[in-house]
Structure 1
Amino acid sequence: MIDRADEITRFIETAGWKTARRLALAGDASPRRYERLILGVKRAVLMDAPPARGEDTRRFTRMARWLHAKGYSAPAILTEDHDAGLVLVEDLGDGLFARLMARQHGCEASLYGSAIDFLADLHGRPTPPFVAPLDAALLAELVELTPKWYLAGIGVKANEAALRVPDIVADLYRSLADGRLVTSLRDFHAENLIWLPDRTGVARVGLLDFQDAVAAHPAYDLVSLLQDARRDVSVATEAEMVRAYISKTGVQADTFVPVYALLGAQRALRIVGVFARLCLHFGKAHYLGYLPRVWRYLERNLTHPALTPLRDAVRDGLPEPTPDRIGRIQDQCGQYPTP
């Protein structure tokens, strides 16, 4: 069997970057790794996505090319070897929205406003034929992680109320959503967006991590952006951006807002389960630090009157992630062998 490091070295050499300097970049919750390659004035980013760990780089390159063809700033594909799970892409730089907002006070509204402009433009286009729908059944399935992993982590047996949560999510979605689906990049948030001031219009928003794109309700990526697990977004900013999206797209606020709240609750519930699993199974404890913020989003969404059945089930079946409960999960970090 070829050593992974040797496989990567051969790929880089074949691509013409043999003498490039290699710098590790921050990864994400997946098995993927990233490196920046520097060769004189040239730069590129290496994606290492091992097929043996369930990764499929074809999904990334297919979506990247679709976005690129529409005039959006997905990284250009430079070289690819899908059998090896290696792709070399354009380096869009270091201007992550999250980093800029942390360093430059007062740029939050303009950056989020540009992201809203991008979503409004994207959602006005037909979805690509190769993306699957994120329907009621799949929304429910994604929430099943929460009673399975979160309750196990805090030492609480799965109970009837918690086990009802996925079905309630599906039922509410069927009753509230109007059936319209748009292209959703799914992980559309400040750490996956790069500001490109030298470009124009919606191309100023650089895009990362879109290989899991689906056809979803228009509110899905808006929630992902404005209820960010990794950083605080003020209630005022969130409300302003939701209003801007409604104004730009012409959706009906009275039908859009309840689905926005539902998808916000669904995402928060899913993230609680995902982050518990990342710690318990994969040993990634730092994700637990985001749980209190995610729970606050959940509670805020559940105040919408249309979500009363879901609020009641969550209240009865899923205890809040208090510091003690988070500590119990952390004490078992990496000790659950079953994924």
Structure 2
Amino acid sequence: MKKWLRERVEGIDRVTKIRAEASTRAFYRLEFKNETRVAMVYPGPEPDAIERIQHFTHLYLNHGIPVPRIYAVLEDRALLQQDLGDQRLQTVFTRGRMAERRYRLSRVADILEKLARIPPEVTLATLDPDRMHWEMDFFIQHFASRLMGLADSRRLQARLVGLVETIDFAPGFAHRDFHCRNMMVHDGRIVLVDFQDSLRAPRAYDAVSFAWDAYMNLGKLRKLFLTDLEKRGLLPGMDQVYLTALQRNLKALGTFGFQVHSRGNKSYNRYVARTLRHVATNPLARDMLEDSLPKLTG
């Protein structure tokens, strides 16, 4: 692939592969004499995927939401993009002092406010009840079934049908994977990445994805963050917030189970305990999951 890139991009001094998790795409940093770029490369031609990324890049930038700029498309297989460096919000937030953390939370809320202004009609893709039911079945198959027997798994599956049916599906526009590992800190600003799967989703979806992030714990700052979002008019009632958060966390556990046991990607094990704590401390978890909850969370 390095040779492929050198043959199509002039003036490259050095090509370095960038580590990426849970993606079929590969990423490379291209070093030139006075600048760097990042090449995002698909295994083969993906014109629809490339077009989707171009579409959402323009959409986000037009709404004042920082995302990496696109400089070139290479044969419907790769994009040459702005290099944002290596600083994820996950690291900046975790290592920052309290004042720095509060500042970053406010900037995340600013981005959510801008996302809320995007009309959901700009995309046909929808996180609807059918898709959420599929995610809960995926969670049962790849995570819960490893912790409980068949009968218990079936009882939990029935309860998850009830969970999905209680979520209000009045849609808003959503990034879909709005968490700290998809936020880079570049020139002091938070820049979103991995936004190609943006869709219509329950109104609180992106907010709960960050408030109960599988990759970082807000701790006591979660209440401050949610209060800020409430004041901005970005949240539905708190019952809907907790229900959506519960579904999102269970969906994440299904993904982690699949990555660890089906893909052999053991690095996702480190995120399971935190996500289970999110589930265990969700105020509506016991009502929705009943006696399945202790079997999941220990």
For the criterion TM > 0.5, the same-fold answer is: yes
Distance 2:14 2:135 in 1: 40
Match 1:113 to one of 106, 110, 118 = 106
Identity over aligned residues, as a percent?
20
Q: Determine helix, strand or coil for the equivalent of 2:232.
A: helix
Q: How big is the shift at 1:169?
A: 2.2
Letter aligned with residue 191 of structure 1: R
Q: Determine helix, strand or coil for the equivalent of 2:120.
A: coil
Aligned to 1:96: 88
Q: Determine helix, strand or coil for the equivalent of 1:64.
A: helix
Q: Determine helix, strand or coil for the equivalent of 2:79.
A: strand
C-alpha offsets along residues 30-49 of structure 1, whole Å, 9 cap, x if unaligned? Answer: 22221211112211111122
Distance 2:159 2:57 in 1: 35
Match 2:251 to one of 263, 266, 270 = 270
Q: How big is the shift at 1:291?
A: 0.9
Q: 1:90 to 1:152 in 2, by over 3 A?
A: same
Aligned to 1:310: 288
> Greater shift after overlay, 42-51 or 108-117?
42-51
Aligned to 1:209: 194
Unaligned runs of 5+ in 2: none
CA RMSD of aligned residues (A): 2.5
Alignment of 1:178-327 (within 5 A): 179-197=169-187, 204-234=189-219, 236-249=220-233, 251=235, 255-301=236-282, 303-304=283-284, 309-312=287-290, 314-315=292-293, 319-320=295-296
Q: How big is the shift at 1:165?
A: 3.5
Q: How big is the shift at 1:154?
A: 4.3
C-alpha offsets along residues 197-225 of structure 1, whole Å, 9 cap, x if unaligned? Answer: 46xxxxx3211011111111221111111
Query: How many corresponding residue pairs?
Result: 295
Distance 2:224 2:34 in 1: 41
Distance 1:286 1:52 in 2: 29
Alignment of 1:42-191 (within 5 A): 42-51=35-44, 56-81=49-74, 83=76, 85-106=77-98, 107-127=100-120, 129-154=122-147, 156-157=149-150, 159-173=153-167, 177=168, 179-191=169-181
Alignment check: 8 A CA contact 2:128 2:201 kept: yes
TM-score of the pair, normalised by structure 1 = 0.79
Aligned to 1:13: 7
Q: Determine helix, strand or coil for the equivalent of 1:144.
A: helix
Alignment check: 8 A CA contact 2:147 2:296 kept: no
Alignment check: 8 A CA contact 1:164 1:313 kept: no
Q: How big is the shift at 1:163?
A: 2.0
Q: Determine helix, strand or coil for the equivalent of 1:262.
A: helix
Alignment check: 8 A CA contact 1:153 1:280 kept: no
Q: 1:191 to 1:265 in 2, by over 3 A?
A: same
Aligned to 1:335: none
Alignment check: 8 A CA contact 1:151 1:157 kept: no
Structure 1 stretches of 4+ moved >6 Å: none
Q: Determine helix, strand or coil for the equivalent of 2:150.
A: coil
Distance 2:273 2:149 in 1: 18
Unaligned runs of 5+ in 1: 199-203, 323-339
Q: 1:155 to 1:257 in 2, by over 3 A?
A: closer
Q: Determine helix, strand or coil for the equivalent of 1:249.
A: coil
Alignment check: 8 A CA contact 1:49 1:57 kept: no
Alignment check: 8 A CA contact 1:181 1:216 kept: yes
Q: Determine helix, strand or coil for the equivalent of 2:73.
A: strand
